[in-house]
Chain A
Amino acid sequence: MSQPTAAGVPGAVPAEVPGPAVGTVPDTGTVRVPPGQKPRTGVWWRHALAVLALVWALFPVLFILSAALNPAGTLNSASPVPTAFSFDNFSDLFASQTFPFWSWFRNSLVVAGLGTVFQVFIGAAAAFAFSRLRWRGRRPGLMALLLSQMFPALLAFPALYLMFLKIGDVLPAIGLNTLWGLLLVYLGGAMGANVWLLKGYFDTIPKELDEAAKMDGASHARIFFTMTLRLVAPILATVGILAFVALWGEFLLASIFLLDQERRTLGVGLYSLNLADRNKYFGMFCAGALIASLPPVVVYLTLQKQLIGGLTQGSVK
């Protein structure tokens, strides 16, 4: 990491900055007022704009809230102001025998949770190999991984269906209609999905650290497990939240995979709840969707600090 910080030299502001000097400079967290200038005029305008941004981000959500609170469960598409207040839709949803919401919730937690952990681990291992180890075929390997992500996966679903139907004949525990089978398919993309982001961050960890550890006689496994994984924790958090949100919301594949009500994930369950009996359950559907949006927010809040650092450096190099 020895790029010239040309931009730091007064009078040499280039139109294009060659190689950013980033990743190594910590966020100071304080504002340095440039000498010779008065502090800017407060932050009220930032709050004003922020509120405007919130209005933009939230007004469609208000429609969902309004439908969820409306006992008739209909979407009043002209105004987001609730016309009636009641938690009937929530209680109906929680009490429903036909639509086991909490089973869906649990299934989603299992699939998205385990899927995230394994995706991160498999991705990290692959990134280690691509970043740290010398071997032929790294470049084509990376390119091939990228390409494998470009296939319109939706159109390979019939093949996956067929495959897991056959697997289920022999190994019912991972066949169609099982969360484990679905998890396996999700993990099929684990290596390709995030290896670019991960590898970029791995590259920012100075190789000298590895060399030093090697000199000390540490094995590659020891380096990987005890040193590298700790150093790259921020990007693991980043990939973790991206993977979690993606798995949490996935419903196209899962709706082909999971038949039984009890075995559905939230995505599949809610999606079919909406379509069942011609919008009859729209209110319950909106109530469920609001609850479904909480885990991603919780995960985000938990990992927020890590996330910001992770995105920063990983994507740069």
Chain B
Amino acid sequence: MKRTTGAIAMAGITALLLTACGGDTESEDPTSPAADEADAPEGDDEGATSDAGDAADETAAGGEGDAAGETAGAPAASDGTSLVIWADDLRAAAIEPLTETFTADTGVEVKVQVVAQEKLREQFKDAVGQGAGPDITIGAHDWLGELVQNNVVAPVQIAPDVAEQFVPESIEAVTFEGQLYAVPYSVESLALIRNTDLAPEVPASMEELVENGQAMVEAGDTELILAQELGKEGNAYSMYPYVSAYGGGIFPLLEEGGFDGSKAILDSPETLQGAEKLAWLGEVGALSTNQDASNVIPNFIDGKAAYMVSGPWAIDQITEGGINYAIDPIPDFADGGETAPFLGVQTFYVSAESLNPQIAQTFVQEYVPTEEIQVGMFEADRRPPALTAAAEQVQSQDEDVEAWSAAAEGGTPMPNIPQMNAVWGPLGKATADIVGGADPAERMATAQTEVASALGGR
């Protein structure tokens, strides 16, 4: 390597030099640092999540936007260097204390801002698109394609040996067109949640579940065979395990991983076989478009259903409602159809416009893959950690975790390609119609046509 052939190499890596995370043009914009500083003091007045030592920060928040605001906070960050993380209410409370190690190691203060859950994705996209926003945001993996389209997330060049420590599906979930864009911390999926007082036995198949459910309804013990979200507009996420049970699905899988977003397979014979099962579940009354987010969990808690298909978010309410429950994988169909759910992966994204790119990358690549953070996040949202070691650690504390992991087995991450946005609506509405009695083949064909025309029109 003694060669000083810089000139030659330079030509080859011009592109590399250009690739300053897409943020270097922004550095010439004199307004951007101001934006960052304006955000900084605001992170502090989350009375919600901060604890002692906030007195200084309170004053900083009072003098918002002026110079006094920037210098408040940890002494190590007296030059104003700080990371801003966006998260929803639940996760903001969880991540804030977990950043202490990072601050102690690096002297970089971390400020966590709460953003409403339903607004986070849009706000992040809009803010970063305008050169503002946080350095890091916590978000779901299926936002990825859309975020890349608008160039608001930076690639994460995680070390291969670190990537290997994660549940493989979680790494797959944050990979888009062969590039890694986020570091995962939890994997969630739907599962069968059973009221153990009403239904002590695990049903061996969907058919058995329906049979037991019908018996309970006839006996007057319950009112519903199964509680599961669908709604008038349908729900492709909730119905996916049935639709994909025979190898069908939404997009064909690519050999190199990921999905081929250029064509949908909603009308493939395998998908149709699943849709038939959907129709059957609707016919026997196990699924209904009248079951939606507003009544599924309440019905289960009121004992109106012995079985519910839902996710980890339901557990708090079930516990509060005093229901004895057990978690199992969604039963397969008796003829071998495997009901594997979609996986949702929660991740840390780095903004493409971060003014502190190395610091942000250090946090997500070197601190997020630690048991401290992964277990800490688990304690807040009860989703099984994505880091294998952390998942093993919490399994000993919480028996649900093992059950959730089992339920996730065989599941595929929700497609993170932007084309998926064109599918949720049409496929969701098709599932509602099929459960409501529409002919599966015809209805899936219509959905396919609609998706295809949306994809073609891009």
**B-binding residues in A (CB < 8 A):** 71-77, 97-100, 103, 158, 161-162, 165-166, 168-173, 175, 177-178, 255-256, 259-263, 268, 271-272, 275-280
- Which of B35, B38, B113, B114 has the most chain A CB atoms closer than 10 A to its own CB? B38
**Minimum Cβ distance to chain A for residue B151 (Å):** 17
19 A-B pairs whose Cβ atoms sit less than 8 Å apart in the complex: A72-B317, A72-B321, A73-B317, A74-B297, A75-B294, A100-B47, A165-B130, A168-B132, A169-B31, A169-B34, A172-B34, A260-B113, A261-B46, A262-B48, A268-B116, A272-B119, A276-B116, A277-B90, A280-B313
Contact residues, B315-330 vs A (CB, 8 A): 316-317, 320-321
Candidates A271, A275, A278; contact of B313 at CB < 8 Å: A278
Q: How many A-B residue pairs have CB under 8 A?
A: 117
**Count of chain B residues near A, Cβ 8 A:** 42
Whether A76 and B64, one on each chain, are in contact in the complex, defined by CB atoms closer than 8 angstroms, is: no
Given known A172-B65, A268-B116, A280-B317, contact A74–B298 (CB-CB < 8 A): yes
Determine the distance from Cα of A278 to Cα of B302 in the docked complex, in whole angstroms: 17
B301 touches A98 (CB 8 A): no
Within 8 A of A (CB), among B128-155: 130, 132
A170–B31 CB distance below 8 A: yes
**Contact indicator B48/A97 (Cβ below 8 Å):** yes
* Extra pairs beyond A162-B130, A262-B47, A280-B313 (18, CB < 8 Å): A72-B301, A72-B317, A73-B317, A74-B297, A98-B48, A98-B114, A166-B130, A169-B34, A170-B31, A255-B116, A259-B123, A260-B46, A260-B114, A261-B46, A261-B89, A261-B114, A277-B90, A278-B293
- The proximity string for B residues 401-432 relative to A, scoring 1 for CB distances below 8 Å and 0 otherwise, is 00000000000000000000000000000000
Taken together as a complex, chains A and B put the C-alpha atoms of A68 and B89 apart, in Å, by 21
CB-CB nearest in chain B for A78: B295
Q: When A and B form their complex, which 8 residue pairs have the shortest distance between CB atoms, in order from nearest? A: A172-B65, A272-B116, A74-B298, A169-B31, A172-B38, A275-B118, A261-B114, A98-B89
Interface residues of B in 114-130 (CB under 8 A from A): 114-119, 123, 126-127, 130
Residues of A within 8 A of B88 (CB): 276
Check B113 against A259 for contact (C-beta < 8 Å): yes
How far, in whole Å, are A175 and B42 apart by their CA atoms in the complex? 12
- Report the Cα distance A71→B321, complex, angstroms: 9
A278 to B114, CA, bound (A): 17
For A97, give its contact among B49, B64, B298 (CB under 8 Å). Answer: B49
B45 at the interface (CB under 8 A from A): yes
Query: With A165-B130, A170-B31 in contact, do A175 and B38 touch (Cβ < 8 Å)?
Result: yes
Least Cβ–Cβ distance between A164 and chain B, in angstroms: 10
Give B229 Cβ to nearest chain A Cβ, in Å: 9
Interface string of B286-307 (1 = CB under 8 A from A): 0000000111011001100000
Nearest-neighbour CB distance to chain A for B302, whole angstroms, equals 7
Residue of A with least CB distance to B30: A169
Residue ID in chain B nearest A269 by CB atoms: B116
> Nearest Cβ distance between residue A265 and chain B, in whole angstroms?
12
Task: Give the chain B neighbours of A278 by CB distance below 8 A.
Answer: 293, 297, 313-314
CB-CB nearest in chain B for A162: B130
Is B93 located at the chain interface by the 8 A CB criterion? yes
Chain B residue at minimal CB-CB distance from A103: B47
Interface contact A168-B38, CB-CB below 8 Å = yes
Could you tell me if B64 and A98 are in contact, using CB atoms closer than 8 angstroms?
Answer: no
* Known A74-B302, A75-B298, A279-B297: A169·B38 in contact at CB below 8 Å: yes
Chain B residues 31 to 71 lying within 8 A of chain A, measured CB to CB, are 31-32, 34-35, 38, 42, 45-49, 64-65
A170 surroundings in chain B (CB, below 8 A): 31, 34
Give the shortest distance, in Å, between A9 (CB) and chain B (any CB). Answer: 59
Q: How far is the CB of B198 from chain A (nearest CB, A)?
A: 18
Is B64's CB under 8 angstroms from A172's CB? yes
Give the docked Cα–Cα distance between A166 and B34 (Å). Answer: 10
Smallest CB–CB gap between A92 and chain B, Å? 11
B113 — which chain A residues lie within 8 A by C-beta? 259-260
Measured between alpha carbons, how far is A169 from B37 in the docked complex, in Å? Answer: 9
Which residue of A99, A256, A260, A277 is within 8 Å of B42 (Cβ)? Answer: A260
Q: Are A74 and B301 in contact (CB under 8 A)?
A: yes
Of the candidates B65, B117, B132, B320, which one forms a contact with A277 in the assembled complex, judged by CB atoms under 8 Å apart?
B117
